[in-house]
Amino acid sequence: MDIQVYIALSLTLFTIGIVGVLVRRNAIIIFMCVELMLNAVNLLLVAFSKMHAASPAVKALPTYASDAQIFVFFIMVVAAAEVSVGLAIIVMMYRNIHSVDVNFLNRLKN
């Protein structure tokens, strides 16, 4: 497949994530949309690890194919940490205002 198709796919998924963030008010759904956006980027990175610029300079790098996948790996690591903290925050918020609607978070006090 062409690289453009992969880029288009991951852009579509990313945009769906953005639209989700925009239209939903449930904090958990918004958080899931952020995860979706991260995955779209992961997909793009993996696609780039498969398809390269045809220049000799790139080929001279020893790990030119694996680097992107290592990146994905680290993104997953960060995502996992983020989810644990983020969900803790959401639970905390639910405990305080008995809702997960972000529109109730329009005050920066209390």
Q: Check residue 36 for interaction with another protein (CB under 8 A).
A: yes
- Least distance CB 14 / another protein (angstroms): 8
In the block, residue with structure tokens 């780039």: 48
| Interface pick for another protein out of 56, 57, 85, 110 (rule CB under 8 A) | 85
C-beta of residue 30 within 8 angstroms of C-beta of residue 102: yes
Q: Check residue 101 for interaction with another protein (CB under 8 A).
A: yes
50: left (phi over 0), alpha (psi -120 to 50) or beta: alpha
C-beta of residue 47 within 8 angstroms of C-beta of residue 13: no
Write out the binding residues for another protein, residues 49-68 only, by CB under 8 A: 49-55, 63, 65-67
Q: Check residue 21 for interaction with another protein (CB under 8 A).
A: yes
